[in-house]
Structure 1
Amino acid sequence: MLLRDLSLEIEKLQGPAALPPHADKMKEILIKTKNQVNRSGPRVDVTFVPGSTANTLAKVRLVGYTEHVNKLRDVLRDFLQNQVPAEDVLNLPHPDLVDCFDQVFELLHLTQTKATLKASHSPRPCVVVSGPLCLVQETHEALKSALAGLTSGTLVLDGPGALRYFQGDGKVSKELVESSCQVLIRQASGKKTAPQLQVSLPLRTSPTAC
């Protein structure tokens, strides 16, 4: 019966969770919770296993009555999910989206998130998602799904007047098409003196009819 009521939980620590100041804050919270649980007598114990380098932690070991071990485990995992910063990288399906990611993100109509998004060319076209682990995971999945619904095409407009038109009177028309059709039209990189204009259109799989 005694063995059935006892349990052992080991949580491995990685990244910022294993380093000060997050490791110190985690220890403070767990020790405080343990002391509250043990007011009426020994119920649970927590051990912080040091890492291979100074001031680092490798894991947290919880041992005691199952009910109280589970309580400390939940406190620990809540801390790791909501208070420890994390970072993840999402590769972009179209390399040219890096330079216009902010505009594309507005077209995706994703729920606002407290996670930080930063487009980067290195090591490959991607978006770096950073913030609390739970938000990073949630944002990564939502963004991955939304980007999968995008497509990109290139329209080549021949003629020496095409570039001049879109830099002048055609600019207003282009902006109206972008707004009504929920697309993004960008001039492709190249020499401004080229006698043609390339327009890239990242857009939704089912854009608004126009």
Structure 2
Amino acid sequence: MDIWRDCQLAGADAIAYVLPMTARYLLENAYGDYRLAVSHGIEDMARMAALSAYAGHVEPQSVTFSAWTADTAACTMVATYALLLPTGLLKAGQVPGGRPALRIQGDDSDRRTTTLLDMQLLPARARMDAGHVRNRIATSACANLGQITAVRECGASVIRAVAALAGDDWPGVADRLERGEVMARDRICE
């Protein structure tokens, strides 16, 4: 019985399982019941965000996602992506700048209040789901750290190492993420 449980845990920790699960979660959280009706560009962005969040649990990444506030679903995806990171910085503001960004940061008492909210008998589902997915990513990244490190020793970035271990078309997602571009229309039908 323990062998079966260990096999199940290995499958649940597999990078090839966690990355698509995270991308689906991002789409579901942003688009709800319409997650299957989104454009290929949005699907690609969700996959890039999932890969970036996973790699961020291995080492901090220099990747930034942004969205216009008029696109509320895209903003939801960016905010959810930020909640999946172990550490990060979420910025909001109007484009015509000039003034420095004001940082919203709670003190120790505020952070304890947040912890109390998270420990409620019935926490808000969105907070609970984001926390669960973040923990799933962290567990998988920890379980696969040796393999990721071995691939990195060949000169690959963390993003490329994670994508290589995931297989399928994740190396292509890593290429687009590192170039900062979304899947081109002509590559969709290939």
- More strand per residue: 1 or 2? 1
Q: Could you tell me the TM-score, scaled by structure 2's length?
A: 0.22
Q: Could you tell me the TM-score, scaled by structure 1's length?
A: 0.20
Structure with the bigger RCO (C-alpha within 8 Å, sep 6+) is 2
- More helix per residue: 1 or 2? 2
